[in-house]
């Protein structure tokens, strides 16, 4: 669809550009006039050609026949009369001309606005018409020369500009034009010392080599950088020309194999068939050129080339094998050619035919399409290459390289899904390539990544065989990506574990530092002061007991303060209430304390907060860390509600759900965002602390505003399974002792 649209758009643009205004209009009509003139010159001479054949050929030299005339004896043997002979030859001339003419006309009709179609039509006429016109209009040498010149120019322009209608490189065009000008000038003055008739053979050969070498180079460069459609057009024409040249070569050379003086003897009957064969071979050019310019079934050229190559090579090899076998047997037994040798050679050919064909097919497929014909060998190669590497990243590179090698594509890449984003893990991609094909890489029903494949050329799609191979590779690539992903996940996990361990060590050191600071800065000076007070009190007991009593009273107050201080530190380490009352009891005690505070607040006009605790009577023995974490989360949430939520009701729920301990706090206050906004100082420290505590214990925390923004819900889930057995049992053991 996309390709069709682009092609149509390109054609429209081309059509717009070559709208028959200005010089294009003149060019088009001039070209069509020449085309018409050639056709008229050719067809108008057919009646006289017929008469000539009927009257002169069977009795005279017949030197102006378009193809070698049959000898009288052969004509009589074939039962042809003079009229039949003339009709046969005229029919052949007309038949071949009509094929070229019809194809050329079709090109003109179907692609009227493209200058290259005019040139292509004239180039086609240049193949069939000049020889006939030269012989039949020999009395008008100037006209014949002009026609030959025009057809030569159009043929060279066609080879220079086909299929895009533009020059590949300016110097190529100028050199070709220069050579053409030299040839035309020499052609129009053939009798001059520098005229074409006086050219030595090497000079003519040099001209041909230079001219056609440049044209070949031009086509090669064009093909290399061409778009998909242009590439296919070139392929068609090259295919047609290759067929024609091979046919001409075979028809010309094969007779020499059987008879070395074939052309000296020049048997008219055989020469007639060779001429006919050559003409038929050259027919490949108009047919493929017509298909190419009219862009019909362009995409099917590759299979046709494939089959042609396979069967041509197969035929050549079979003939060579047969001949070699017969030759070897005659050499071996030192005898003349025997019928039995032919049988043996035929047997050898029969035995090797099937495997040879298979090998050739593979060879040609590999030549044309890479290695896609044999997915098994591609997968085998992929497997072997994967065995050589240990690194996951290299494995992906190998997959990408295999895809590139087997499909002969400009680029390929593999994207791996990581944290819901796709990361290009191997190969490369082209920015904004509309022709890029993306294949899902999955394993075990999960999409793991994507295989990106660039089109061989812009607009070129992949064939069914390509897609099958891509599918086969993608399935293997999915497994590779899965292992790579697992390796990456393990790497990530190890990294997280390392970070967690560092964080734990850091936290422990921080805690020890804080405790040391408390002991050193607070408790130690207090104790030192108490030792001093005690010594002072002892002195005062002797001197002034009343004063001593006063000092001891103060000393007692100091001791009480220090005890409180130590209790505070111990509470920070683990709330004492947890050991005495358990989690639920400790939270309940905290709730009661807050209720008492609310009761004190009740003296003012502020509304009272109703706190409701929902918890089971008895919880199983929890890991110490979970217990402390849960207590801190519950109290922190509760304090948050009291301080910031402006709520009238607060529900706390402590429950065991599966393997999780759930602590949920719900209020009907101002909601999360509003309460955060109203909070003075650093917003969200309490909430952050709650979340961090949950995550530290391997759990999760959800904080959300309730519907309509009325209230907040904080739910923390703390897993208890990993600690259940180890710590739980230890706890039971110690308590039973």
Partner 1 sequence: MEREEARGKGLWLSIVFRVFAVIFTLSGLFMLQGLSEGLEPWVQGFMASSPLPDELRFHAAAHGALIGILFSGSLIVMLRNPLEKPILLQFYFVGHLVFLATLLLTDVKLALQSFFVFIMFAVVLLLLFVTYGKRRELFRPAETPVRNRTMLIMTGIALLGLLPVLLNGIIGQVQDPVQQFRSGESAALSIVMLYGGYLAASSRRGSRALAVLLSLAYLFMGAASITLPDHPGSWGIWGGAASILYGLVYTWLAFRSKVSHANTAAQASS
Smallest gap from Cβ 260 to partner 1, in A, equals: 19
Residues 6+ apart with CB under 8 A from 32: 108, 118
Which lies closer to partner 1 via its Cβ, residue 223 or residue 328? 328
Binding of partner 1 by 199 (CB under 8 A):
no
Question: Which positions from 231 through 290 interact with partner 1, judged by CB under 8 A?
Answer: none
**Spatial CA neighbour of 41 closest among 157, 118, 122, 136:** 136
Which 121-180 residues touch partner 1, going by CB under 8 A? none
Least distance to partner 1 from the beta carbon of 333, Å? 7
**Token pair in block for residue 525:** 């000076």
- Here the tokens at position 577 are 């209430």
Rounded Cα gap, residues 396 and 399, in angstroms: 5
Contact status, residue 266 vs residue 328, Cβ threshold 8 Å: no
- The residues in 322-341 that bind partner 1, with binding defined as CB under 8 A, are 328, 331-334
d(CA 69, CA 76): 13
Shortest Å distance, C-beta 332 to partner 1: 5
Which has the closest alpha carbon to 105: 169, 17, 35? 35
**Minimum gap (Å) between residue 321 Cβ and partner 1:** 13
Q: Interface with partner 1 includes 390 (CB under 8 A)?
A: no
- The residue (of 216 and 327) whose beta carbon lies closer to partner 1 is 327
Helices (H), 18-114: 23-44, 46-52, 72-77, 82-110
| Of residues 334 and 733, the one with the C-beta less far from partner 1 | 334
Nearest to 425 by CA among 416, 434, 417: 416
Q: How near is the Cβ of 353 to partner 1 at its closest, in Å? A: 20
3-state secondary structure of 654: strand
Q: How far is the CB of 331 from partner 1 (least distance, A)?
A: 5
How many residues contact partner 1, by CB under 8 A? 5
Which C-beta is closer to partner 1: that of 23 or that of 333? 333
Q: How far is the CB of 329 from partner 1 (least distance, A)?
A: 10
Helix axes 228-258, 268-282, angle to 10 degrees: 170
According to CB under 8 A, which residues from 342 to 361 bind partner 1? Answer: none
29 sits near partner 1 (criterion: CB under 8 A): no
Residue 334 or 682 having the CB closest to partner 1 = 334
Q: How far is the CB of 342 from partner 1 (least distance, A)?
A: 19
Locate 199 and state its tokens: 């050219």
Give Rg (Cα) of the chain.
Answer: 49
Nearer Cβ to partner 1 (171/333): 333
Q: Give the closest residue to 124 by CA, choosing from 31, 192, 204, 189.
A: 31
Considering only CA atoms, which of 587, 720, 591, 715 is closest in space to residue 663? 715
Least CB distance to partner 1 at residue 335 (A): 11
Q: Which of 430, 448, 428, 432 is nearest to 440 (CA)?
A: 448
Closer residue to partner 1 in complex, CB, 207/328: 328
Compare residues 334 and 737 and give the one whose CB is closer to partner 1. Answer: 334
Q: Which is nearer to partner 1, 224 or 334 (CB)?
A: 334
Contacts with partner 1, 464-503, as mask; x by CB under 8 A? ----------------------------------------
Residue among 273 and 328 whose Cβ is closer to partner 1:
328
Q: How far is the CB of 325 from partner 1 (least distance, A)?
A: 11
Q: Are 551 and 537 in contact (CB under 8 A)?
A: yes
- The Cα angle at residue 718 between residues 712 and 721, in degrees rounded to 5: 155
Output DSSP code: residue 325: H
Element (DSSP H or E) covering residue 164: none
Binding site for partner 1 (CB under 8 A): 328, 331-334
């Amino acid at each position: 669809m996309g390709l069709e649209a682009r092609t149509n758009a390109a054609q429209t643009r081309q059509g717009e550009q070559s709208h028959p205004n200005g010089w294009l209009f003149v060019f088009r009509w001039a070209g069509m006039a020449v085309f018409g003139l050639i056709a008229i010159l050719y067809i108008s001479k057919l009646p006289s050609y017929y008469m000539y054949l009927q009257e002169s050929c069977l009795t005279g030299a017949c030197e102006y026949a378009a193809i070698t005339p049959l000898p009288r004896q052969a004509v009589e043997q074939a039962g042809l009369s003079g009229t039949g002979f003339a009709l046969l030859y005229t029919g052949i001339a007309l038949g071949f001309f009509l094929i070229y003419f019809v194809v050329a006309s079709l090109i003109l009709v179907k692609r009227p606005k493209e200058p290259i179609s005019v040139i292509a039509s004239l180039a086609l006429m240049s193949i069939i018409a000049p020889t006939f016109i030269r012989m039949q209009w020999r009395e008008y040498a100037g006209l014949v020369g002009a026609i030959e010149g025009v057809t030569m120019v159009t043929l060279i322009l066609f080879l220079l500009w086909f299929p895009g209608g533009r020059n590949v490189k300016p110097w190529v065009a100028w050199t070709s034009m220069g050579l053409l000008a030299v040839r035309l000038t020499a052609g129009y003055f053939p009798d001059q010392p520098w005229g074409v008739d006086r050219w030595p053979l090497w000079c003519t050969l040099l001209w041909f080599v230079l001219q056609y070498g440049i044209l070949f180079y031009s086509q090669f460069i064009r093909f290399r950088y061409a778009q998909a459609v242009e590439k296919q057009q070139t392929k068609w024409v090259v295919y047609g020309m290759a067929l024609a040249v091979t046919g001409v070569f075979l028809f010309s050379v094969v007779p020499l194999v059987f008879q070395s003086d074939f052309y000296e003897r020049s048997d008219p009957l055989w020469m007639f068939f060779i001429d006919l064969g050559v003409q038929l071979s050259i027919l490949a050019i108009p047919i493929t050129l017509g298909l190419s310019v009219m862009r019909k079934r362009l995409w099917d050229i590759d299979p046709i080339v494939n089959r042609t190559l396979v069967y041509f090579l197969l035929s050549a090899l079979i003939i060579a094998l047969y001949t070699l076998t017969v030759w070897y047997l005659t050499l071996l037994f030192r005898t003349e050619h025997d019928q039995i040798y032919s049988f043996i050679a035929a047997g050898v050919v029969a035995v090797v035919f099937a495997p040879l064909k298979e090998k050739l097919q593979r060879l040609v497929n590999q030549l044309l399409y890479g290695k896609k014909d044999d997915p098994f060998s591609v997968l085998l190669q992929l497997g072997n290459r994967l065995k050589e590497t240990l690194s996951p990243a290299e494995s992906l590179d190998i997959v990408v390289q295999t895809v590139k090698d087997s499909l002969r594509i400009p680029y390929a890449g593999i994207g791996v899904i990581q944290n819901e984003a796709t990361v290009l893990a191997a190969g490369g991609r082209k920015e904004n390539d509309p022709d890029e094909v993306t294949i899902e890489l999955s394993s075990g029903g999960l999409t793991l990544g994507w295989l990106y494949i660039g089109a061989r050329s812009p607009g070129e799609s992949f064939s069914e065989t390509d897609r099958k191979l891509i599918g086969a590779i993608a399935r293997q690539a999915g497994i590779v990506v899965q292992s790579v992903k697992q390796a990456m996940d393990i790497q990530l996990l190890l990294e997280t574990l390392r970070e967690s361990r560092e964080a734990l060590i850091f936290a422990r050191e921080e805690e020890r530092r804080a405790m040391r600071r408390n002991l050193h800065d607070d408790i130690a000076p207090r104790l030192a002061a108490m030792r001093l007070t005690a010594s002072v009190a002892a002195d005062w007991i002797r001197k002034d007991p009343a004063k001593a009593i006063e000092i001891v009273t103060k000393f007692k107050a100091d001791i009480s303060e220090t005890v409180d201080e130590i209790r505070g530190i111990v509470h920070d380490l683990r709330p004492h209430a947890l050991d005495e009352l358990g989690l639920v009891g400790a939270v309940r005690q905290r709730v009661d304390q807050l209720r008492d505070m609310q009761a004190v607040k009740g003296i003012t006009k502020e509304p009272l907060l109703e706190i409701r605790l929902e918890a089971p009577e008895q919880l199983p023995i929890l890991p110490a860390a979970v217990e402390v974490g849960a207590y801190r989360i519950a109290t922190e949430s509760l304090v948050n509600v009291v301080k910031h939520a402006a709520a009238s009701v607060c529900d706390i729920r402590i429950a065991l759900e599966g393997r999780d301990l759930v602590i949920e706090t719900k209020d009907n206050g101002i909601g999360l965002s509003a309460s955060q906004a109203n909070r003075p100082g650093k917003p969200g420290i309490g909430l952050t602390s709650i979340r961090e505590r949950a995550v530290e214990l391997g759990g999760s925390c959800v904080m959300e505003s309730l519907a309509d923004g009325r209230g907040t819900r904080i739910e923390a889930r703390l897993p208890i399974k990993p600690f259940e057995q180890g710590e739980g049992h230890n706890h039971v053991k110690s308590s039973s002792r």
